[in-house]
Chains A and B, each alone.
Chain A
Amino acid sequence: MSFGRTNPLSRRTLLRGMFQGSALAIGLPWLEGMFPAFAGTGAVRQPPLRFGTWFWGCGVTPGRWSPTLGEAGFALQPESLPLESIKEHLNFLTGFDAILDGRPNHVHVSGTFSLRSGIAPLKFGVIEGGTFETAIADRLGVGTRFKSLDFTATGNPADTYSYRSAQVRNTPETSARALYDRIFAAGLRKPGEGEFKPDPKTLSRISVLSAVSEQRKALEANLGAEDRRRLDQYFTSVREVEQQLELQTEEPVIPEACQMPERPGEHDANYDLANVHENHKLMAKLLALAMACDQTRNFNVVFSNSASSLHRSGEASSHHLYTHEEFTDPDVGYQIETSKFVIENMKGWAAFVQALADVPEGDGTLLDNCLVFAHSDTSWAKIHAVQGIPMMTAGRAGGRIKTGQVVTANGDPITRVGLTMQQIAGVPIERWGTRSMETDNSVTQILA
């Protein structure tokens, strides 16, 4: 059947264009797949919400990453210091645990999938359910050209943590050129050349709402003055929503920021740190552009893999090997090389967030309309601890969330975070997770 916001393809006009000899169907931006359920009303078309994940491997060093709360907000620690320039866009989520209930701690796996699927895997390598960001992609990605654009900066297509179901995992792009070709090879249609037909459903909605408004007189008849004012306020609110719907029936304008990029050259794609940074930077830019042009509203980025294989050129020891092999320096009390790799991962995160913040959109930036969820596979990689796995969000999700918060949970199930992400994105879900990790409690501290 065709009713429901899960299938609004009908209202999306596809522009057929020719570029470099091949046909390209490209969707226009700003047509909301669902009603924008967020603050900031008025007669301005709201950019859509985008959601994505950003993953890094091997966690952080205890005591060197979690921001401390001070009088003037929070203070970053040595390993989170690379985030200084973007910290106004971030929330830190600490103290949430994967609770295993006697199930094994499969190293570098139990944490990630407790967090993403809400189920601590019993068997190594056997994921017992889909991961939550696919549910969000189902919600937000309807009608965009790509339901989700995923890439890994490591060159290894096996580095993905996004599972549509227990068996099906999403394969990421591994090079900037491949990502470019997928999105832009056939070119980008300039605005103003398409024919626009407003979505009949939106038009119907508007007529239903005006019919609702017409009941006003009859309702007012028996009310006292005070109640009439309340009813009046109510209909003002209805009018605001009507105006938003009306905006959706107007021809959209492709924003300035949606520009055809240059085709990137070939780059080495592997676990070499310098290559990872370079590839990640190129692909982050392409992804940001793809979102500016509303080609996708969902993404999954892997900066470094679970059990991070990042290594510096000429060195055989990877980040992961350092976590186990490197001694704890008695003078400073932590693993020095391991900590350097954490800092490299955080530099990658800062670069990613900046890439989204560099794209103007509406009165702000693309980042303002994103909810990016970053996390790792463990907290303290040395022993694969799954208590207090480090997590962050970036972006204000179109005004749905606050930023600058440091949430410290007291061993609450880590699924509270996945539940919250889904709810912010409008997935109709009240409870999530299994066994000790089943929860219906979202992390309200970050909600706007």
Chain B
Amino acid sequence: MRKSLLITVAFGAAVCATACGNSETSEPVKASASEPVEATLVSSVNQDSKTIGLAFSYFWYDNLETPDDCPEGYAYALRDLAILGLPEEKQKYLLQPENRSTYYKMGYALSGKRMREHNGTSICNIPDAYDDPPLRTVQSNLANGRDLDGKASSGDDVGSCGAADFTAPDGRSGIDNQLYRVMGCIDSYRRDAEFAGGAMEDYHVGAYRDGEITTLMEIRDVDNRMNDDYVEVGVYSSHEPTPYDSEKKGIGHASLTVTDNTLWHNETTGRIENGVLITEPFDLRLKFGWTGRPAEYYVKDTQIHLNLAEDGTAEGDLVGYFDLQYAYWHSFHDEQGALQVANGYTCPAVWDALHKYADGYPDPETGKCTAISTAMKLDAVPAFVIHPPKEELVKYVLDTRDYYGVELEDIAVEGAELREPKGAGGPPAAAKSRKNPETSESKEE
């Protein structure tokens, strides 16, 4: 080990000359630091900074909201399906604000009925069990995002499985963001919607603020922060909380340790053009659970565009093809049925829509697409990315077979052991509701 490690701190940015981590010299120190290891050499003046560290402070779908997205209205939740069969007069009556509680109650009753019909199994685990009306999806041609496949598909190309591309508000064509088409008319995925407007975004961002999830990024080998034709990029999950201030803004310059699970370590390369980082496509896997969900991001062909601001913060977008199954689990799976009542969709309808609009990674045998294009926005604050010692690294995949009702082959990853998902498992109320669904009013979500 060298005597000291030169760390250069450029103003505003968290940058390290020889990397704050990722090398043998930068393993985290154990708690008993009464005998501190060799000093880290720090200079504020030397601008020869090589590494930029970041912690995500905001990460959410880049959903465009215009009045023309959903001409037929928003997608049906279970509460809507529950009243669909009623005469129109009765429906109108129930939709009035003063009768809304009955309307919701009917949704919960339907949710309970469905679970009871399948011995308490979550309907999201068996989405083919019901033929719900097709999900209402985005009908406009405008969407945020990027052209992932270099084609402006009008719905006839096989590689995209027939999904028609969008045009960006700024006129760029060939925008691949079919996940937006699926979620864009679900009220909880919009901000402007009545009922659950803003709910999902708040959950996602809230999970970062509460310290439930942390995502780190590291740009290494940076010779020039404005223009550099080769940099290395890592994106990692962390179990340590990103600090936020009392106004709920991310605070910079925290040291945060990368998770020991290499499944959630992602490496790629990229370049910086006029202060914007552009990564080469890579497959991204990150831990993501809000309110205890054992969810993950699994996005193939991920590209990140990140505007590196002078003060060390960064903002940009992340695009790619979300693995279809993970997209479903991550964004829509609902163990107890309450999400589908309150948040404007049903699992059967979403499941079908995801398959209908999947536009990437066609299965070589069936020709069906197995991933769906997406676009997300992200903000990040400067951070010091600390890597765990190599000997502590493990590779595991969460054993979600029971949770999602799937087989080992659906979740297995080569070289990764199975681990029980920490903290997953439904609240007692859910178990109760399975036995006696009528009284399941006190849903936990």
Contact = CB atoms under 8 A, between A and B. Distances in A.
Touching chains A and B, CB distance < 8 Å: yes
Interface of A: 95, 97-109, 121-125, 307, 309, 311, 315-318, 320-321, 324-328, 382-388, 408-411, 436
Contacts of A328: 197-198
A289 B198 CA distance: 47
A326 B187 CA distance: 12
B423 A316 contact: no
Given A317-B100, A387-B210, A101 B239 contact: yes
Majority DSSP secondary structure for residues of B touching A = loop
Given A325-B100, A325-B195, A105 B207 contact: yes
B140 to A, nearest CB: 22
Nearest to B259: A102
Contacts of A327: 193-197
Nearest to B194: A327
A122 B423 contact: yes
Contact of B427 (A98, A109, A309, A315): A109
A315 B102 CA distance: 8
Given A104-B424, A122-B423, A307 B291 contact: no
B212 interface: yes
Interface of B: 100-102, 104-105, 193-199, 202-203, 206-207, 209-214, 238-241, 243-246, 248, 289-293, 338, 342, 422-428, 441-445
Contacts, number: 131
8 contacts: A102-B212, A105-B292, A108-B444, A324-B196, A327-B194, A409-B246, A411-B243, A411-B244
Given A104-B292, A107-B427, A309-B442, A410 B245 contact: yes
Given A316-B105, A317-B104, A408 B246 contact: yes
Contacts of B241: 99-102, 436
Contacts of A324: 196, 199, 338, 342, 445
Contacts of A436: 211, 241
B199 A383 contact: yes
Nearest to B105: A316
A106 B291 contact: yes
A105 B427 contact: no
Nearest to A308: B442
Contacts of B291: 104-107, 384
B194 A106 contact: no
A98 B293 CA distance: 18
Contact of B214 (A102, A103, A104, A320): A102
Interface centre among A121, A125, A315, A384 (most CB of B within 10 A): A384
Given A107-B427, A122-B423, A383-B199, A102 B444 contact: no
A316 B246 contact: no
Given A102-B211, A103-B423, A105-B290, A307 B444 contact: yes
Contacts of B427: 106-107, 109, 124-125
B239 A315 contact: no
Contacts of A105: 206-207, 210, 212, 290-292
Nearest to B187: A327
Contacts of A123: 423, 425
Nearest to A109: B427
Contact of A383 (B195, B202, B423, B442): B202
Contacts of A121: 423
B445 A107 contact: yes
Nearest to A106: B292
B246 A106 contact: no
Nearest to B188: A324
A102 B196 CA distance: 26
Contacts of B338: 324
B211 A100 contact: yes
Interface centre among A108, A109, A125, A325 (most CB of B within 10 A): A325
A382 B245 contact: no
B210 to A, nearest CB: 5
Given A101-B211, A328-B197, A383 B203 contact: yes
Contact of B196 (A315, A317, A325): A325
A102 B101 CA distance: 35
Contacts of A101: 211, 239-241
A387 B342 contact: no
A317 B199 CA distance: 18
Interface centre among B207, B210, B293 (most CB of A within 10 A): B210
Contacts of B104: 316-317, 321, 325
Ordered nearest first, which 5 A-B pairs have the shortest CB separation?
A: A104-B292, A102-B239, A317-B101, A104-B423, A316-B101
